[in-house]
Structure 1
Amino acid sequence: MRHRLRDPITGLLFVLPMLVLFVIFRFVPTLGAAGMSLTDYKISGDWSFVGVDNYARLLDDPIFLGALRVTVVYVAIYVPLTVVVSLSTALLLNSVIFMKGLFRGALFLPYVTSFVFAGVIWRWIYEFDGLLNGLLAKIDLGPVGFLDDTALVLPALATVSVWKGFGYSMLILLAGLKSIPRSYLEAARVDGANAWQRFRSVVFPLLRPALFFVMVIETIGAFQTFDLIYVMTGGGPSRASYNLILALYDQGFGDFNLAYAATIGISLFVLVFIVSMIQRRLLDRSEK
């Protein structure tokens, strides 16, 4: 018994510091927010139990419903786009022979920059007298109000987020590609499979765990997008980019409705959990 327990106990000791930090700074605050959402907690410290009244209020709040719609649309644009870009660049880097480190570093570089810095730079690029409209003017297609048009603002913001964050997912998928035995690909090539058939029948099934991880973390990141939108649009124009995190921020730190802000946060947590489970089910179904 002592011999069988030695390895699990040793592993637990190694992860114990991070586990303690996770419980203190993630798990406990989440439970606290869930409890606060059932009260009318005020910044003065006074509170009383109100049950699910805050959740019922959400269903009648047009600002929350609008922010929910914006969040879902943004996630629907961002996640497929970043997965496609990350997978495409990972496949290209996996076939590069010379200067692989240089290309990986150059593509990963935007990820290590701050969202605030990226937002300031891309806001200038999107402006009417900015770089992009300057290029469009040369072919008589500009100017375009990328951040002032309610139909274009979310795709414009999603494009910046993809440029900023695809490098991390690219490295995850590249590591997954490197773990695929070359003998499988060589056998498929000998059997006459072309590049698309090798990807569909060999690469994609073996890459599914890494792809699921990328989809989950990118989905969570998209639901939590705040600083980029705050810097570039502030939720405008006409609340066309006003997402749930901005609504939570305004309620909690603008109006000091802490209980209602906690309710928005818990609702967002439930939404992310449901979407992650749907993604898991879809990938499991495609595996069968």
Structure 2
Amino acid sequence: MRHRLRDPVTGLLFVLPVLVLFLIFRIFPSLAAAGMSLTNWNIGGEWDFIGADNYARLLDDAIFWTSLRVTLVYVAVYVPLTLIVSLGTALLLNQVVFLRGLFRGMLFLPYVTSFVLAGVIWRWIYEFDGLINGILGKAGLGPVAFLEQSSLVLPALAVVSAWKGFGYSMLILLAGLKAIPGSYLEAARVDGASAWQRFHRITLPLLKPALFFVLVIETISAFQTFDTVYVMTGGGPARATYTLIYGIYDHGFRSFDFGYAATWGMVLFALVLIVSLIQRRFLDRGNT
């Protein structure tokens, strides 16, 4: 019995510091937020237990439903865009032999750039006298109000976030491509398979674990987008970029209605969990 317990106990001791930090900074705050959502907690620390009143208030809140729609639309635009860019750049880097490290570092550089700095730069790019409208003006096209039109502002923010964050997913997918045995692709090439057939029949199925991981983390990242919205639009115009996470900030740190903000947070947690489970159900299939 002592020998059987020695390895698990030793392993537990090694992970104990990280486990303690995870409990302190992840699990306990989540449980505290769940409890806070059942109160009317205010900035003075005073609170009363009000049960499900905050959730009932949420259902009648038109701003919440607008925020939910905005968040879902943003996720639907950002996630496919980031996956396409990440996979495309990973496939290109996988073919590069000369100066591969340099190109990899250049493409990864936006990921380590501050979101605030990226937001400021891209706000200038999108402005009427910015880079994009300057190019459009030389082409004889009128200026486009990217950040002032409700129909354009979410795609514009999704482009900024995709540019900022695709580098990490690119490296994950590149590692997945490197793990594919070259003999498989070579055998398919000898058998006469085209580039598309090799990608569709060999590369894509074997890359499925990495793709599933990237899809999950990018979906979670999309639901938690805040910095870009805060810096570039502030939730506008006309709440066209008022995401759930921005609503949590608005209610918690502007109105100091912490109980109601925690309710928004629990809804966001449930939404991310449900979407992740759906992704696992339809995309994982037990093979990752």
TM-score (norm 2): 0.96
> What corresponds to 1:163 in structure 2?
163
The CA deviation at 1:285 is: 5.0
* Counterpart Cα distance in 1 of 2:168 and 2:137: 34
Separation (CA, whole Å) in 2 of partners of 1:256 and 1:44:
9
Once the two structures are superposed, residues 69-93 of structure 1 have per-residue CA deviations (whole angstroms, 9 ceiling, x without a partner) of 1111001000010001000100110
Runs of 4+ in 1 over 4 A off after TM superposition: none
Within 5 A, what are the aligned runs for 1:216-235? Answer: 216-235=216-235
Aligned residue in 2 for 1:100:
100
Unaligned runs of 5+ in 1: none
Q: Is the 8 A contact 1:42 1:258 kept in 2?
A: yes
Deviation of residue 260 (structure 1)?
0.2
For the Cα contact (< 8 Å) 1:37–1:263, is it kept in 2? yes
CA–CA separation in structure 2 for the residues paired with 1:127 and 1:224:
25
1:47 and 2:50 are equivalent in the alignment: no
Distance 1:74 1:172 in 2: 23
Shift of residue 183 of structure 1?
1.3
Structure 2 SS opposite 1:234: coil
Pairing of 1:57-76 with structure 2 (within 5 A): 57-76=57-76
1:194-225 deviations in Å (ceiling 9; x for gaps):
11111111111111111111111111111111
The answer to whether the 8 Å contact 1:134/1:142 transfers is no
Q: Sequence identity of aligned pairs in percent?
A: 74
Give the unaligned 5+ runs of structure 2: none
CA distance in 2, matches of 1:242, 1:94: 38
Mapped partners of 1:48, 1:129: distance in 2 = 52
**Matching of residue 209 in structure 1 with residue 184 in structure 2:** no
CA contact (8 A) 2:64 2:244 kept: yes
* Matching residue of 2:268: 268
The answer to whether the 8 A contact 1:41-1:258 is kept is yes
Counterpart in the other structure of 1:199? 199
The answer to whether residue 86 in structure 2 is matched with residue 86 in structure 1 is yes
Q: Is 1:2 aligned to residue 5 of structure 2?
A: no
- 2:15 aligns to what? 15
Secondary structure of residue in 2 paired with 1:225: coil
Deviation at 1:161, TM superposition (A): 0.4
Contact preservation (8 Å) 1:146, 1:152: yes
Inter-partner Cα distance in structure 2 for 1:196 and 1:10: 48
In structure 1, what residue type is equivalent to 2:43? I
Task: Check conservation: 1:111, 1:165, Cα contact below 8 A.
Answer: yes
Q: CA RMSD in A?
A: 1.3
Rounded to whole Å, the distance in 1 between the matches of 2:170 and 2:72 is 24
Deviation at 1:286, TM superposition (A): 10
Per-residue displacement from partner, 1:135-175 (whole Å, max 9, x unpaired)? 11111123000001110000000000000000000000000
Higher mean alpha-carbon deviation, 7-16 vs 246-255, is at: 7-16
SS at match of 1:20: helix
Which range moves more in the overlay, 244-253 or 35-44? Answer: 35-44
Tell me the equivalent position of 2:115: 115
Deviations 1:42-61 (A, max 9, x none): 22222222221111111110
Distance apart, 1:14 and its partner CA: 2.1
SS at match of 2:207: helix
- Amino acid across the alignment from 2:140: D
Instruction: Report the TM-score when normalising by structure 1.
Output: 0.96
Task: Supply the distance in 2 between the matched residues of 1:215 and 1:284 (Cα, whole angstroms).
Answer: 11
Specify the code of the residue in structure 2 equivalent to 1:78: Y
Instruction: Decide whether the 8 Å contact of 1:127 with 1:146 is kept in 2.
Output: yes
Amino acid at match of 2:257: N
